[in-house]
Amino acid sequence: MITADTSIFESLESNVRGYCRNWPTVFTKAKGSWLRDENGSDFLDFFAGAGALNYGHNNDVLKQPLLDYIAGDGITHGLDMSTSAKRDLLTTLRDTVFAPRGLDYKVQFPGPTGANAVEAALKLARKITGRETVVSFTNAFHGMTLGALSVTGNAAKRAGAGVPLVHAAHMPYDGYFDGTTADFQWMEKVLDDTSSGFDRPAAVIVETVQGEGGVNVARAEWLRHLAGLCQAREILLIVDDVQMGCGRTGPFFSFELAGITPDIVTLSKSIGGYGLPMALVLFKSELDQWAPGEHNGTFRGNNPAFVTAGVALRHYWSDGSLQASTLAKGEKVGRILGELADNVPGLTTRGRGLVHGLVFDDASQASKVCQVAFERGLLVETSGSTDEVVKLLPPLTITDQELDHGLGILTGAVDTVCS
Ligand code: PMP
C-alpha cells in the first residue's frame, strides 16, 4: 500500500487535476525510464509524460549541453528574436530532418504546447483558403483550447467548452479496420457536401495513430487515400504529429510510413527533447502566408528547449539506429501483448512502433489494470472514448530488460484483474 501526504494538493489544487488521482503518491525524482516517489519507491514509466519523454527522464546526452548553456548565461526567454540557439536548431532541422526526407517546409514556433501548434495550424489553413470548416475524425484528440477542442472527436471532452469556435465536422476514423471497411464514399460526401451551409472545408486534420482516442492505427493505404481526396479538392491536409511524431511509431514523422507529405504538420511533446515545452508548425513553403506578427505569443522562444531539441535531433536522428531499435522493441511488445490477448477472453491488442493498446471489452477492467500496475511499480494510463484501452507509451530509450520488467508487471496485473 502506497501512502503519501497529498493533503495540500486536495485542499488547494483545483478539482481539474487528473493524473495525481490515478497515481496517488508524491514523485520527487526521475531518471531514464524510472520515477521515484518520496517514500523511495521506484516506478517504471510506460507513460513518458504522455509522449513528451521519448528520450526518457534527465537524459545525460541532453543534460550536460543544457547545464552548459545555462551556466554560460544563455538566453532563456527570447520571444521570436533571432538567437544562436534558434539558429543552431533551425540548421539542425534543415540538415537532419528536412533535407534527408526531401521536405521543403517552413517552420513556425507557435508557443509551448501541442494545442498552440494546432491552433496556429487551423488559423493558417483558414487564412490561406478563406474557408471556415475544418474536418476531423471521430476519437481524434487535438488539445484543450477552444479551436483544438472543436476538432477533437470526443463529445465528452468537448462538452464543457460551449460553442465550437471553428466549424468542425467529424468523419469516421475507420482506417484501422481490416480490409475494405473504410468508407471513402462517405468521406467524399462530407468533403463535398455544402448542404449544411458550410463551404468546402479548409482542411482535414488527422492523427496517423490516435493516441488519446485509444491507439487506433490508420493503415498506410487509408492515409494515402485521404491525402489524395484532399489534394484533388485543394483541401489542406494537416497531420497532427504532436504525440506520434519524434519517432514514436518508428520513423521521425509518423506519416513517413504512408509516403505522404502533409501540407501542414504539428509537433510538440518530445520535440523539445528534455521534457521542455516547445512546439512547431511545419508547412509547405508556398503556404507561408502569415504577415509579420500576425500570430504571436510570449513563450515562443524557449531557448533551453531549442538547445536540447537540437542535441536530440543530432544525437538520435542523424543515423537510423533509434528508428530501428524502436521498431524492434515495438515488435516484441506487440508479440507479448498478442500472446496475452490470445489467452484472455475480451482482450485485444493493437499498436505501431512503441505505442500499443490493450483493448478491454469491459472498460472497468482497463482502469483496474492500471491501478494494480501502479501498486506493483508501473505507470500506465488508459485512453479511448470510454477509457477502455490501456495505452503503453514507454520512452524510446527504454532498455530491453526494463521493457521485459514492465511487460511482466502488466501481464500479472491483467491476470489479477481478469481471472
Ligand atoms: N494533439 C495530439 C495528437 C495530442 O496527443 C495532444 C496531447 N495529448 C495534443 C494535440 C495537445 O497537446 P498539449 O496537451 O501539449 O496542448
Over the stretch 264-316, which tens digit does the pLDDT of each residue have? 999 999 999 999 999 999 999 999 999 999 999 999 999 999 999 999 999 99
Residue 254, ligand 1, Cβ within 6 A: no
Q: Which residues pair with 382 in a beta bridge?
A: 390
Residue 142, ligand 1, Cβ within 6 A: yes
Average pLDDT, the chain: 93
The single residue listed with the C-alpha cell 521536405 is 103
Residue 119, ligand 1, Cβ within 6 A: no
pLDDT band with cut points at 50, 70 and 90 for residue 166: low
Which of 142, 146, 206, 270 has most ligand 1 atoms within 8 Å of CB, for mutation? 142
Residue 48, ligand 1, Cβ within 6 A: no
The predicted structure's pLDDT at residue 16: 87
The predicted structure's pLDDT at residue 176: 60
Over the stretch 119-158, which tens digit does the pLDDT of each residue have? 999 999 999 999 988 989 989 999 999 889 888 888 777 7
142 CA to centre of ligand 1 in angstroms:
5
Residue 207, ligand 1, Cβ within 6 A: yes
Residue 141, ligand 1, Cβ within 6 A: yes
The predicted structure's pLDDT at residue 257: 95
- Of 362, 370, 368, nearest in space to 393 by CA: 370
ipTM of the complex: 0.99
E strand or H helix at 329 = helix 321-343
pLDDT at 177 over 70: no
| Nine cell digits for residue 177 | 479496420
220 CA to centre of ligand 1 in angstroms:
22
pLDDT at 182 over 60: no
Q: Which residues pair with 140 in a beta bridge?
A: none
pLDDT band with cut points at 50, 70 and 90 for residue 258: very high
Over the stretch 67-105, which tens digit does the pLDDT of each residue have? 999 999 999 999 999 999 999 999 999 999 999 999 999
416 CA to centre of ligand 1 in angstroms:
32
393 CA to centre of ligand 1 in angstroms:
14
pLDDT band with cut points at 50, 70 and 90 for residue 329: very high
Residue 114, ligand 1, Cβ within 6 A: yes
**For residue 2, how many other CB atoms are within 10 A of its CB?**
14
Contact predicate 417/369, CB 8 Å: yes
345 CA to centre of ligand 1 in angstroms:
32
| Alpha-carbon distance values, 412 to 45, 340, 350, 418 (Å) | 17, 10, 19, 10
pLDDT at 179 over 60: no
